[in-house]
């Protein structure tokens, strides 16, 4: 049974993530630091798998896409050209009494000057614009000339490399560049676990095309990105598209839609897809003095490409996959009863561990066979090995971290050279010859 998207589910997932080693609060022994999180041994595998699934879908399987990994620190003029120095701000108010800080646009009544905290009633300050970019200094001098920014999005690294990439790959329009990387925003109101943090990872695409083709390609990307989430396990009724109203659109954008997910606190953005017109390349031409035009062989004209931008968050995606994977049901116990079972029904392609080898006893004759099988399987995938506690507890542990297949090695194995494979969701078991295990698992783990 999947579990309703309620605030309780949030607590359940945060605690499961901590207990099982998916996500820890950063610098915890020092009391933590606002809104940063560390991905533990299982979390790093899950998030890597999410990023790989994205990369596979938008780069590996397409002829019209290539990848990039640009630097986080960029020339400061990039952020003037992009508009971030001037416009990447949130309006901020402080309560003079309780000192809490609010984003004006998040208050129920933005015109009220009274603190919204229950029982406080303090007076709010005038709104100030707060730039969300982190500033630091390059080199030993901490003066204005040395100011650089931690990138607040990965997109600009793509725009400034448009010519380098197009020139070296000789791609013709339409084509796109994909990038995964860290971005930093000094968010005023971070929170909701890894949903809104100050350091996060983006998975961004800039798809360059002719202006006339942009509306059609925009629709294609919206469809493609929307269906990617359900292909990897998000329930269709937990996903929706929300088109931006014209007053919500950035001044340069011709259209924008968010892919939203039903988080435990309500519908929120997983990814935005925008038709950004030719704004970005034009701005960089203006500020750099360099041409970023593309020569169209067909019309023999120089064009400034339009850009479709699907921009996703790797952390938000990972969190949504975790929420939707969480299931509770009943499993049989050794004495004929049943007990509550928690399982993460992650798509096998996303699951941190693809299988676990569980010898029924620690006796050397069994562990010899089990270790050999483990070594063969780990050549292919991340595979766990566990010989502690009774088999029921070991199944529970693997279910709770989403391992799709448990392989038990028992005394009969020594006679029939076969093992039992148990599938996580159905709990069905089948006997498979030792030398056929990889063959049997491969299509179920890598499913196309």
* Complex with ligand ATP: residue 10 or 370, whichever CB lies closer: 10
Euclidean distance between CA atoms 37 and 197, whole angstroms: 8
* Complex with ligand ATP: residue 203 or 437, whichever CB lies closer: 203
Q: Which of 49, 82, 131, 202 binds ligand ATP (CB under 6 A)?
A: 202
Euclidean distance between CA atoms 153 and 83, whole angstroms: 12
Euclidean distance between CA atoms 416 and 409, whole angstroms: 11
* Complex with ligand ATP: residue 196 or 394, whichever CB lies closer: 196
Told to check if 225 binds ligand ATP by CB under 6 A, we report no
Told to check if 187 binds ligand ATP by CB under 6 A, we report yes
Closest separation in Å from C-beta 178 to ligand ATP = 14
Told to check if 371 binds ligand ATP by CB under 6 A, we report no
Told to check if 277 binds ligand ATP by CB under 6 A, we report no
Q: Report which secondary-structure segment, H or E, holds 77.
A: helix 77-81
The closest residue (CB) to ligand ATP is 313
Closest separation in Å from C-beta 430 to ligand ATP = 40
Buried b / exposed e over 254-276, threshold 16 CB at 10 Å, is: bbbbbbbbbbbeeebbbbbbbbb
**CA 416 to mean position of chain CA atoms:** 44
Q: Which of 315, 347, 386, 399 binds ligand ATP (CB under 6 A)?
A: 315
Closest separation in Å from C-beta 391 to ligand ATP = 40
* Complex with ligand ATP: residue 106 or 430, whichever CB lies closer: 106
Euclidean distance between CA atoms 226 and 239, whole angstroms: 8
Q: Which of 151, 196, 422, 424 binds ligand ATP (CB under 6 A)?
A: 196
Euclidean distance between CA atoms 390 and 386, whole angstroms: 10
Phi, psi of 202 (to 5 degrees): -110, 155
| Cβ–Cβ < 8 Å for 395, 406 | yes
Told to check if 275 binds ligand ATP by CB under 6 A, we report no
Closest separation in Å from C-beta 272 to ligand ATP = 4
| Cβ–Cβ < 8 Å for 275, 253 | yes
By CB under 6 A, name the binding residues for ligand ATP: 185, 187, 196-197, 200, 202, 269-272, 311-313, 315-316
């Amino acid at each position: 049974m999947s579990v309703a998207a309620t605030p309780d589910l949030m607590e359940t997932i945060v605690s499961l993530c901590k207990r099982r080693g998916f996500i820890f609060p950063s610098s915890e022994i020092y009391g933590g630091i606002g809104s940063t999180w560390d991905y533990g041994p299982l979390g790093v595998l899950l998030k890597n798998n999410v990023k790989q699934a994205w990369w596979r879908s938008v780069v590996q399987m397409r002829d019209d896409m290539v990848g990039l990994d640009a630097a986080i620190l960029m020339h400061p003029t990039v952020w003037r050209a992009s508009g971030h120095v001037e416009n990447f701000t949130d309006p901020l108010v402080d309560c003079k009494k309780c000192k809490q800080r609010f984003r004006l646009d998040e208050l129920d009544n933005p015109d009220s000057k009274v603190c919204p905290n229950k029982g406080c009633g303090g007076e709010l300050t005038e709104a100030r614009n707060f730039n969300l970019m982190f500033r630091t200094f390059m080199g030993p001098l901490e003066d204005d000339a040395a100011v650089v920014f931690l990138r607040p999005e990965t997109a600009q690294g793509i725009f400034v490399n448009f010519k380098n990439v197009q020139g070296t790959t000789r791609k013709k329009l339409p084509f796109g560049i994909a990038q995964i990387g860290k971005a930093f925003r000094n968010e005023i109101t971070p929170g909701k676990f890894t949903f809104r943090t100050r350091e996060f990872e983006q998975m961004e695409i800039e798809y360059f095309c002719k202006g006339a083709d942009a509306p059609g390609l925009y629709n294609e990307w919206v469809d493609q990105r929307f269906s990617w989430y359900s292909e990897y396990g998000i329930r269709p009724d937990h996903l929706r598209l929300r088109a931006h109203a014209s007053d919500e659109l950035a001044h340069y954008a011709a259209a924008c839609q968010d892919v939203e997910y039903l988080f435990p606190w309500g519908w929120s953005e997983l990814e935005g897809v925008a038709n950004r017109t030719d704004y970005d390349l034009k701005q960089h031409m203006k500020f750099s003095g360099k041409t970023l035009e593309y020569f169209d062989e067909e019309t023999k004209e120089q064009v400034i490409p339009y850009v479709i931008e699907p921009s996703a968050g790797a952390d938000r995606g990972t969190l949504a996959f975790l929420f939707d994977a969480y299931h509770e049901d009943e499993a049989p116990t050794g004495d004929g009863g049943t007990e509550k079972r928690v399982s993460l029904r992650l798509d096998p392609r996303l699951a941190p561990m693809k299988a676990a080898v569980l010898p029924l006893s620690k006796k050397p004759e069994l562990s010899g066979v089990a270790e050999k099988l483990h070594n063969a399987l780990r050549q292919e995938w991340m595979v766990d090995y566990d010989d502690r506690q009774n088999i029921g507890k070991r199944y529970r542990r693997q279910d709770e971290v989403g391992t799709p297949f448990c392989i038990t090695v028992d005394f009969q194995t020594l006679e029939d050279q076969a093992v039992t494979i148990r599938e996580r969701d159905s709990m069905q078991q089948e006997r498979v010859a030792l030398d056929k295990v990889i063959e049997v698992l491969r299509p179920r783990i890598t499913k196309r």
